[in-house]
Amino acid sequence: MAVEDYAASLDSIQAARNRIQGQIRVTQVITSSSLDALAGRSLFFKCELFQRGSPLRSSSSGAFKIRGASNAIFSLSDEQAERGVVTHSSGNHAAAVALAAKLRGIPAHIVVPRNAPKCKVENVERYGGKISWCDPSVESREAVCASVKSKTNAVLVHPFNDPQVISGQGTVALEFLEQVPQLDVIIAPISGGGLISGISIAAKAIKPEIKIIAAEPTGADDAARSKAANSVQTNKQTCTIADGLRASLGSLTWPIVRDFVDEVVTVDDSAILEAMKMCYERLKVVVEPSGAIGLAVALSDKFRSNPAVKHCTNVGIVLSGGNCDLTGLWESLPN
């Protein structure tokens, strides 16, 4: 496929950066010598958990999702914006759409699964999002979202299968490679594929030799199976603590994942929990399961023994979000 056949490009990602620069934060990169020693490599953590995406006085943190949501919403014409926006999400994208809509002064209709984390639902409510509940399945989310869209005539801002959303998420890579130009690898979570798609398009355009590794839970491993089969595979059901990584690849994200992501590495929930614990204890940051999975992959035997990254010494890890119900976390940790 030619570059122009993909849903995003370096040009569209750079345009997104210009469009949203007043709406987002340039998030910092942190390091830990003790984690470097464990990994046997230099690790650089891009802290999207410090991104806008939750109220500053809230106990929860932000997430990368405001990048894509802002780019999509601020790309709308005035006529489109007057109709408001609608989306479906288990949490971080929901809050991001509600916030971006509030910043533009338009209504946001948010379809949320009944099992969404309380802290993420509270973020949507604080930003004035109008919540419609659905069952915790892709089919229910999409059906309720379609119903709300039909009733309100609102514009759909899809969580990942949207060119403007993908381009917005790609701004993570622009910043990361400016902050740490020596990166050999970037590890980022994968679910629907919006984040990893934007990152891989931008990073490979800037630095073609860089490796892009997608981090995925074993209990929601459709991307790994899709790469192995060279065709889209779906999850009939998911079972993972990483609530933000339960979606399946979209029609726009799959071609990018197929052609630009070098490997999909899966890790189980115990590894994710251990990585969360390390983030808390060694990096001193609050990170949700979906955000900690990149560290879990970097410390995994699958990554360490992977010949594709054998000579890579500088590893970038995207800590994608920090919206975590701490009560649930501590109850999940083994005694």
Cβ proximity of 188 and 257 under 8 Å: no
Catalytic annotation present for 90: yes
DSSP run (H or E) holding 215: strand 211-217
- Mention every residue, 6+ apart, whose C-beta is less than 8 A from residue 201: 6, 8, 9, 10, 13, 166, 170, 256, 260
* 68/316 Cα distance (integer angstroms): 20
Burial class (CB in 10 A: 0-12, 13-18, 19+), 3: exposed
Cβ proximity of 279 and 218 under 8 Å: no
* 235/242 Cα distance (integer angstroms): 15
Strand 29-30 relative to strand 42-47, pairing? antiparallel
* 179/30 Cα distance (integer angstroms): 11
Residues in the chain, overall count:
335
Catalytic residue of the set 12, 32, 46, 65: 65
Q: Find residue 318's DSSP bridge partners.
A: 46
Cβ proximity of 333 and 203 under 8 Å: no
List, by residue number, the catalytic residues.
65, 90
